[in-house]
Structure 1
Amino acid sequence: MSGSRIVIDGAGLTCAQVARVAREEVTVVAGRAGVERARTAWHVAREVTAAQPVYGRTTGVGANRLVNVEWEPEEAEGADTHGLRLLRSHAAGAGPLIAPESARAMLAVRLNQIAAGGSGVDPGVLGALADALNLGLVPPVPVYGAIGTGDLTALASTALCLLGERSWLATGDEGVRRGPGFALRSSDALAFISSNAATLGEAALAVTDLHTLLSASTVVAALSLHAVRGSVEPYAPAVHEACPHPGQQQVAAAMRALLAWERPVPVRIQDPYGYRAFPQVHGPAVDAAAHAERTVSLEINAAAENPLVDVVARTVWHNGNFHTAYVGLALDAARAALFQTAALSAARLGTLVEPSFTGLYPFQAATDVSSGIMILEYVAHSAIGDIRRLGGPAALGSAVLSRGVEEHAGFSTQSARATTEAVAGYRIALGCELVAAVRALRMQGRPPSGGPLREAYDLAAGTLDARVEDRPLDADIATAADLLPRLARLLPA
C-alpha cells in the first residue's frame, strides 16, 4: 500500500486497510501475484471437476449435495444453467440494506480471498470487483440472510450485479445499471458465494474502530484523572509487574506517559475504581480487541473455501473452513470486555459532576441552581445500556438447516453487527466523558502541564464550546465524539 493506492493480492490485507477501502477515496488494484494464484486454482478446479464429483460444481448444495448436475469443461452458458439458478435462488436477503461502507468492505475481503488461490473462481472476477470499488459502486445487500456459515445471500446479490441481472448502487442509493460486469461461469457460482466476506468486512471495520476508541479512552481517562486531582500511584510499574497481564501493563504504561508532566498531590488515599482499577478493567478490553483483530486478519487472508482447491496436490478438499466460530467468539469476548470499560467511563463521569472531586458547583454548573452537565450522565448510561444489551454472546445461539444436513451455526454475522452497534454506543459514552473532563479543567483553570496530555487538552478545548451557562449539549457530545480518533493518535506508544 502506498498513498491512495491499495494493492490487494490475497496476502497481508489488514483490517485497517479494509477500513480505508470502505471509507476513503483510494484506488484498489488486484495484485499480480493474487491474480496468478487465482488463475492456477481455477485451472486445477476445472481439471479436478472433470475427473471426480465436486460439491457445488457437479452437485447441488446443502441437502441437495447428493443430486448430480451436468458439467462440461467448456459448458455453454445458457439462461437456465445450474449455477445461475443457484445465484437467483440464494439472492433472497431481507430487511434494510447494509451500510455502503460495509458493502465495500465485503467486496474488498472477497477480492482478497479469491486472490489467496483456494476458491477456483475465474480470476477475471478480481478486476471486476476492483472496478466496482474504484467506481464507488456496491451491490444491494439486505441485513438479514447469514448466520456465520456463509454470506450466501449477500454474495449471490453481488454475483447478479456482476452478471447484469441486478443494478449496482452508487452513493445516495441511486440505481446504476451500467456497472462493472463479469460473465461468471455457472460452475463458479457456488465457489464465488461460499464465503463470509460480508461478515468479515463488517468485523474488520468494527475492530478497527474499537482499537481507535480504546486508545482514545486512555487519553480521556487521563484528562478526567487530572480534573479530579487523582493519584498516579495505581499506575506504578511495581503494581503491574505484580500482576502482569499484557493489556493491563500496556494501559498503566500509557497512563504514566500521559501524566509524566504532572506532579499531583493526591487529595485521597485511594481513588474510586474508575481511576484506581482503570488498567485492570480497560486492559482486558485492549487484549480482547487485539485478539479479535488478529482473528479477523487471519480470516480475511485465508483461503477458507469449501471445497478448497489444493493447487500443490492438484485436488479439492471438502471441509468446514466456512464456519467462522473463531470470529464470532472473539467478537463476543470483545463486546463483553467493552461493556466493562464503558461502565468505568460512566463511573468517572459520575465523579466529574461531584463538587468533592472537582471543587466546582454540582454538575459543573455556572451557579448553584443550574443544571450544568447533569444530562450527560443520562446520555452516557443510555448508550451503555445498549452496550450491555448487545454484550450477550451471539455464540449461544445455533440452528439446524437444510433438512438437518447443516446442523450448527455460530451466528458470527450477528456478533459482527452487535459489535458495530456496541462500538457506536461506546463512542457516545466517551464523548460525554470528554466534554465533562475538558469543561472541568477549563473551569478550574488547570490545563495539563505538557506532553501529549496537554496536546489532547488543547485540541479538545480549542474545539468544544467554552460556554458554561445552561444550554443544549447535544452538539458538544457530537463534537467530542468526532474528536476521539484524533485523540487516539496522541496515545503514547
Structure 2
Amino acid sequence: MIEIDGRNLALAKIVSVADGAPVSLASEALARMSASQDSAVATASRRPVYGRSTGVGANKTVTLAEADGADTHGLKLLRSHAVDAGKPLDRRTVRAMMVVRLSQLAAGGSGISPVIAEALAGMINADVIPEVREFGGIGTADLPALAGTALTMLGERQPLHGGAAPSLLEAWPTADALPFISSSALTIAQGVLAHQRLARLLESAMTVAGLSFIAMAGNPEALSPSVAAAADSPAVTTAANTLRSLVAGSGTPARIQDPYCLRTLPQVFGSQLEELDALGGLLERLVVAGNENPLVHGLPAEGTNDVAHHGLFQMTNLARRLDTVNLAIGAACATHLRRIDLLCDPDYTGQHPFLAEDGSGQSGVMMLEYVAAAAVGRIRANAQPASLQTVVLSLGAEEDASFASLAAAQLQSTAHAMETVTAVELVCAVRALRLQGRQAEEFGDAKVRNLLAAAFALSPDMKDRDLRSDVETATELVQQNY
C-alpha cells in the first residue's frame, strides 16, 4: 500500500503503483484538501476566480451565473475538454498519471473537494483505467487526459479495453471541474516512467561497456584515480571510479591509447547520469507541487485565504530537462555504435571478422550493427528539442506552449530504443569473450561476474543463424540491472 500524503512521493513508488500497487490517502492530506476547499469557497464569494466563477481560456471574461447554467458548467467543461486522438496509452502509463494527480491534489493547492480525491484513489485501487490517447496535451496541462478520466469516474466513458463503465461519482460540481484537470500529471508520469527505466538501463549499459572494454583489452589508465580527480564534473568522477572497478584485473592493455569509445567512457556515462539526476530532482518536486491554476492559498479562519492566477502549469523547465536527457543520450550513441563496430573487428578482439565461427565468409553478428544503428536513428531523432516548438491557441489566450508532453513521449521512445542498443552490445561483447575463452569467475567485480554468467545463457552456437532470440534475451538481462 502506497500512502499519498501530498508532501513526498518517491519516483520508485509511482512505478509501483503503475505496476499495480494500491494507494491510500493520508489523513493529513484529506484535512489539507478540506481546508483548501474552504479557502477557495471563501475567496470566490468576494472576487472572481478563474474556472470557478468564470469561463476558461478565451472565455475567462464570461461570468458564470445560475441563470447561465453555472450548476452544470463543470460537467460541460469536462465533456468539452475530454477529446483526444491517436493510439490509447498503456495501462502502466495511465496508472502512473492517476497517482501523480492524486499526489498533487493531496498537496492542497487546488481547492478541490476531498471527495474527488477519494474517488480517484478508489479508481486506482479498483484498477479502473481510463482510455487516454496520445494526442491532446501540448505541455500546458494535460486537459484531455484528465477530463476523460473524470468522465470515466462519472460512468460516461468506458474504461480502457471496454467493459462496464463505472460510476464512482454521481455528480461533478462546477467548482471541482477545472481544479481536477488543471495539471500536467500525464506528462510528469511519462517523465517518471522514462526516468526510472533509464536509471536502471544506464547502470546496465555501463556494465555492458565494461565487458566490451575487457573484450577489447582496453587501457584502464583512462579510468585511473588521477584522471577521475581531474574530471570537470562529479558525475564523471563517479563514472570513472565505477568503470575502473568494473574492469579491474581484466588483463594487459593492448594499446597505449584507446579509441574514444573506450577512452571517454567516464564522460559519456557521467554526462548522461548527471542530466538524468537533474531530471529526477525536478520530477520529485513536480509530483507534490500544487501547480493548479488558480493556486489556492491561505486559510479563511485567519483571513489570509486567496487565490493566485499564474502560469506554473506551463512545463517549461520539465520540457528543457527532458530534452537535455534526450540530447545527452543521443550524443552518446556514437560511442555505443563504435564499440559494437570494433567488437566485429579482428584487430580489436583477435577473432574472425564479425565474431564469426571461422574465416570462410560467415556473417556472424554483422546484421546486429544494422539493428543497433536503426535504434540509434530513433534516439537521435528524439534528441531534436521539443521545447523549441510553440503554438498560439484559444483565440490568442494561450500564445506559447512548452511541448513537454512531446519531450516526455520522446524520452520514453529513447529508453525503449536504448535497451535495444545496449542488448546488441551485450550480445557482441559476450560472444567475443566466449570466443576468447574468458570465464565469469575470473573477474573481480560482482556486477561483471553476474551479468557475464547470466549472459552465457545465450546460445554458444557461433554458426550463422537467426539472432533475434539472442537480442530478446539480452534485452531482458539489461532491464534487470545486474
Q: TM-score normalised to the size of structure 1? A: 0.93
1:161 aligns with 2:157: no
Which of 303, 313, 320 matches 2:290?
303
Asked if structure 2 preserves the Cα contact closer than 8 Å seen for 1:435 and 1:480, the reply is yes
Query: Is 1:207–2:202 an aligned residue pair?
Result: no
Q: Which residue of 1 aligns with 2:110?
A: 119
Corresponding residue number in structure 2 for 1:14: 10
SS at match of 1:403: helix
Query: What residue number does 1:88 align with?
Result: 79
Residue identity matched to 1:366: E
Shift of 1:318: 0.7
**For 2:258, which of 262, 271, 281 is the aligned residue?**
271
Residue of structure 1 in register with 2:413 after alignment: 421
1:95 Cα deviation from its structure 2 partner: 1.2
State the 1:76 CA deviation. Answer: 10
Structure-2 residue corresponding to 1:350: 341
Alignment pair present for 1:241 and 2:229: yes
Contact 2:77 2:177 in 1 (8 A): yes
- SS of residue paired to 2:394: coil
Q: What is the one-letter code of the residue matched to 1:12?
A: N
1:144 paired residue number? 135
The alpha-carbon deviation at position 174 of structure 1 amounts to 3.1
* Cα offsets for 1:111-160 (capped at 9, x unmatched): 00000000011111222222222222211111111100011111110111
Query: Which consecutive unaligned segments of at least 5 residues does structure 1 have?
Result: none
Is the Cα–Cα contact under 8 Å of residues 132 and 179 in structure 1 kept in the other structure? no
Q: Which among 17, 30, 34 is matched to residue 29 of structure 2?
A: 34
The answer to whether structure 1 residue 229 and structure 2 residue 214 are counterparts is no
Change (3 A) 1:293 1:364: same
Q: 1:180 aligns with which of 154, 158, 168?
A: 168
Q: Structure 1 residues 265 and 71, CA, compared in 2 at 3 Å: closer, same or farther?
A: farther
Task: Say if 2:340 and 2:425, in contact at 8 Å, map to a contact too.
Answer: yes
2:175 alignment partner AA:
S
Cα deviation code 1:315-368 (max 9, x no counterpart): 111111111101000000000000122221111111111111111111111121
Q: 1:379 to 1:182 in 2, by over 3 A?
A: farther
Alignment-mate amino acid for residue 344 of structure 2: V
Q: In the alignment, is the contact (CA less than 8 A) between 1:57 and 1:71 conserved in 2?
A: no
**Is the contact made by 1:162 and 1:183 (CA closer than 8 Å) also made in structure 2?**
no
Q: 337, 355, 363: which one pairs with 1:371? A: 363
Amino acid at match of 1:413: S
What is the match of residue 61 of structure 2?
66
Identical aligned pairs, as a percentage?
A: 39
CA distance in 2, matches of 1:183, 1:351: 64
Q: What residue is the counterpart of 2:308 in the other structure?
A: 317
1:133 to 120, 124, 128: 124
Whole-Å Cα distance in 1 between the matches of residues 339 and 118 of structure 2? 51
CA RMSD of aligned residues (A): 1.7
Amino acid at match of 2:281: R
Q: Any conservation in 2 of the 1:398–1:410 contact (CA below 8 Å)?
A: yes
Gaps of 5+ in 2: none
* Structure 2 SS opposite 1:176: coil
C-alpha contact (below 8 Å) 1:325/1:412 kept by paired residues: yes
Shift of 1:8: 1.3
CA distance in 1, matches of 2:167, 2:408: 29
Q: What number of residue pairs does the alignment pair up?
A: 474
Cα distance in 1 for residues equivalent to 2:32 and 2:478: 40
Provide the rounded CA distance (Å) in 2 between the counterparts of 1:403 and 1:348. Answer: 52
Which residue identity does 2:35 align to in structure 1?
A: T
Question: Post-superposition shift, 1:479?
Answer: 1.1
> Is 1:254 paired with 2:254?
no
Deviation sequence 1:442-492 (CA, Å, 0-9, x none):
111113423311122112213x22221111111111111111132x2x4xx
CA contact (8 A) 2:86 2:134 kept: yes
Structure 1 position 273, deviation (Å) = 0.9
Deviation per CA, 1:137-192: give whole Å up to 9, x if none.
211111111100011111110111111211222xxx13331353363312210111
1:478 counterpart residue number: 472
Q: Aligned partner of 1:235: which letter? A: L
Displaced runs of 4 or more, over 6 A: none
- Residues of 2 paired with 1:125 and 1:56: CA distance? 17
Letter in 2 for 1:31: A
1:410 corresponds in structure 2 to 402
Report the counterpart of residue 456 of structure 2 in structure 1: 461
What is the CA–CA distance in structure 2 between the aligned matches of 1:291 and 1:329, rounded to whole Å? 11
Distance 1:129 1:115 in 2: 11
Contact 2:105 2:290 in 1 (8 A): yes
Letter in 2 for 1:269: I
Q: 1:67 to 1:480 in 2, by over 3 A?
A: same
